[in-house]
Structure 1
Amino acid sequence: MVFKRLLGALGVGAPTVDTVLAPGPVVPGGTLSGEVRLKGGNADYEIEQITLELVARVEAEYEDGEAEGGVAFGRFTVGGGFRLGEEAEQSVPFSVTLPWETPVTELHGQSLGIVLGVRTELEVAGAKDKGDLDALSVAPLPAQEAVLEALGQLGFGFASADLELGHIHGTGQQLPFYQEVELRPAPQYAEVLRELEVTFLASPAGVEVVLEGDKRGSGMFGQFGGGDAVNRHVVAHEDVEHRDWTAEVDAWVRALVDARAAYAGHGGGGYGAHGHKDGYHGGHHGSGPGMGAAVAAGAAGLAAGVVGGMVAAEVVDEIGDAFEGEDEDEGGDEG
């Protein structure tokens, strides 16, 4: 698509740009490919540099409230150093590698409500203009999909997903934000958990799975009060197949519940001995960005509990609004 405010800094008659991404979703750490299509204006122009910027709509929580805005999490120079003739057309192909911690936006083709985009910046005659903006679709890695499917098999239901500004203490997190997938508890855990939050931190070696349980103050462990518990598990990419993921993930959740009960019984509080979320994170959300509805997941897996939210045009509008007025800030609004 050609962005409406395209190349405003360069004036009327400047070149136009249309970035076309290869069809289908990519995966974290995978290759994003496509081409940048340029059309010359009413004169010859020197195209000094073409840059792609990965952007995300991220939430930040503070003691006195919360805010959201656009955060850039990757930049790639994909072309430049050539003359674009008057009304001439030229395509610049590109192939770049996404960060391993790139958030997942869909599960089995169903939107999770996460807003990601690829923004094209064109530098002409010393002037930079952020023009084309395209929605970025990211599917889960096999390890991420296996864990989510196991949770669905156990009866957990999708509630929402969002991106939180901040850092999870004790992990190898690289990006300035992390993704939370919030799930309604399975029936067998409904008395002890209000919700279960899942965060994936992928790397070339594998995926770190962070589980956070929001405990109820009543029920089986009610004498210990409510609170949160966190535990972490690392899954190597090559270890995904030939494992009983439903049984394994169920054991993770049970260990999460049991650890919180044991820790609280000794007078502990907070996140227990497993670690905690640091930085800007200070609470929990009941809904995620852009989701119109969600239903409980059944035996078919967690994807059955996800109702598609935003179409591509809506995603572009959302991320465009997040960056509105921030064109002079190269890093976006990090709260």
Structure 2
Amino acid sequence: MFQKLKASLGIGAAKVDTLLESSSLLQGGVVKGNIEIVGGDVEQQIDAINLKLCTEVKVETDDGDSYQQFVLDQIQALEPFSIGVNETKQVPFELKLNDETPITALNASKNRCRVWLETTLDIDFALDPKDRDLLQIRPLPVIEKVLSAIERGGFKMVKADVEKGYLRGGNFSSKSGCYQEIEFKNSGLLSSKEIELSFILEGNIVHCLAEIDRRFDIGGDQYIAFSLYQSASDIEVGAAVEPILAR
């Protein structure tokens, strides 16, 4: 009885560890691995295994900005099972990244973009064992080309974060409830300009919404939207980016 009481408090209870084949993935890739459960000092009933794909979103309020955990996707293994004393079990899994999973592999000086897997065991009358594994999300080659083209135009990537809400641009819109903003600035004294890029994947197409803010322009922000196939050539990318740099 004493051992069960300790397990309910998390002392000597079952532990969970998510073992990934790779923690570095391209946008739209598939996370693969095994969930390893190691029994504690007493046999325990595992009612479910919950696997969540999470990011951190910025929420703007009258009191200032705050950051909250946001679940992009999740899967759950619903078949209950028991884990014996010091027993080890492994459960394989695959989880396709949500198409709107933020890019984290960015060279921005202020990068607040984080993505992780959170694994939880559902145990009655006990503290749920939890494991968190950070993921590195790399941009698709066509998005890498767009980012590089902006930098070649004289802009430096200065900030990246994830906003809570929905993005709409022309004939596309986001669906997850959050969207990424990647901010660039140039260093001109009288021609200071900021560019914020947001990308949305849709099958084989990458949509982009660019917000352009000129420091001394009284006309307000301008928006340009474009779409590219993932197989777009350098010439096609250059033609899409040129209007953004010209504004």
TM bin (shorter chain) = 0.7 to 0.9
Give yes or no for contact 1:114–1:163 (8 Å, CA) kept in 2.
yes
Contact 1:46 1:124 in 2 (8 A): yes
Query: What does residue 143 of structure 1 align with?
Result: 142
In structure 2, the residue matched to 1:172 is: 173
Q: 1:9 to 1:236 in 2, by over 3 A?
A: farther
Change (3 A) 1:139 1:9: farther
Which amino acid in 2 is paired with 1:243? I
Deviation, 1:22, is 2.2
Deviations 1:18-60 (A, max 9, x none): 1122224112221011111111011222222111112212111
Pair 130,12 (structure 1): closer, same or farther in 2 beyond 3 Å: closer
Change (3 A) 1:99 1:8: farther
Partner of 2:38: 39
Please, what is the CA RMSD of the aligned residues? Answer: 2.6
1:210 alignment counterpart: 209
Distance 1:125 1:11 in 2: 12
SS of 1:104's partner is coil
1:152, 1:9 → 2: CA distance?
54
1:241 correspondence with 2:240: no
Larger relative contact order (Cα-Cα within 8 Å, sequence gap ≥ 6): 1
| Contact persistence 1:216–1:227 (CA under 8 A) | no
Amino acid at match of 1:178: Y
Within 1, Cα distance between the matches of 2:126 and 2:97? 27
Is the 1:35–1:93 contact (alpha carbons within 8 Å) kept by the matching residues of 2?
yes
**Following TM superposition, by how much is the alpha carbon of 1:10 offset from its aligned partner in structure 2, in angstroms?**
5.3
Distance 1:126 1:143 in 2: 49
Aligned residue number for residue 28 of structure 2: 29
C-alpha separation between the residues in 2 aligned to 1:156 and 1:39?
50
CA-CA distance at 1:80 after TM superposition: 4.3
- Structure 1 stretches of 4+ with a deviation exceeding 6 A read none
Give the whole-Å Cα distance in 2 for the aligned partners of 1:82 and 1:112. 41
**Partner letter of residue 233 of structure 2?**
E
User: Does 2:237 correspond to 1:253?
Assistant: no
Q: Is the 8 A contact 1:78 1:94 kept in 2?
A: no
CA shift in 2, pair 1:91/1:29, >3 Å: same
TM-score of the pair, normalised by structure 2: 0.86
- Give deviations 1:281-323, integer Å, cap 9, x for gaps: xxxxxxxxxxxxxxxxxxxxxxxxxxxxxxxxxxxxxxxxxxx
The structural deviation recorded for 1:140 is 0.5
Q: Deviations over 1:252-280 (max 9, x none)?
A: 332xx2xxxxxxxxxxxxxxxxxxxxxxx
The Cα offsets for residues 121-164 of structure 1, whole Å up to 9 and x where unpaired, read as: 11124767251111121001122111111112222111010111
Alpha carbons of structure 1 residues 128 and 53: separation in structure 2 relative to 1, 3 Å: farther
Structure 2 equivalent of residue 55 of structure 1: 54
Where structure 1 has 5 or more consecutive residues not aligned to the other structure, the ranges are 1-6, 258-335
1 or 2, which has the higher helix percentage? 1
C-alpha separation in 1, matches of 2:11 and 2:100: 39
Tell me the number of residue pairs that the alignment of Structure 1 and Structure 2 aligns: 239
1:67 aligns with 2:66: yes
Secondary structure at the aligned position of 2:91 is classed as strand
State the TM-score, normalizing by the size of structure 1.
0.64
Q: Does residue 1:87 correspond to 2:79, yes or no?
A: no
Q: Distance in 2 between matches of 1:230 and 1:8?
A: 56
1:86-235 equivalence runs, <5 A:
86-107=85-106, 112-125=111-124, 129=128, 131-170=130-169, 171-185=172-186, 191-217=190-216, 222=217, 225-235=218-228
Aligned residue type for 1:176: G
The 3-state SS of whatever aligns with 1:211 is: strand
The structure whose residues are more often strand, as a share, is 2
Q: Give the 3 Å change call, closer, same or farther, for CA 105–178 of structure 1 in structure 2.
A: same
Q: CA deviation at 1:11?
A: 3.1
Q: Which amino acid aligns with 1:229?
A: Q
Provide the C-alpha distance between the structure 2 equivalents of 1:200 and 1:94, rounded to a whole number of angstroms. Answer: 28
**Does the CA contact (< 8 Å) of 1:113 and 1:161 recur in 2?**
yes
**Whole-angstrom CA distance in 2 between matches of 1:153 and 1:207:** 21
SS in 1 for 2:59: strand
Q: What CA distance in whole angstroms lies between the structure 1 residues aligned with 2:207 and 2:126? A: 42
Once residues 83 and 197 of structure 1 are traced to their aligned partners in structure 2, the CA distance between those partners, rounded to angstroms, is 50
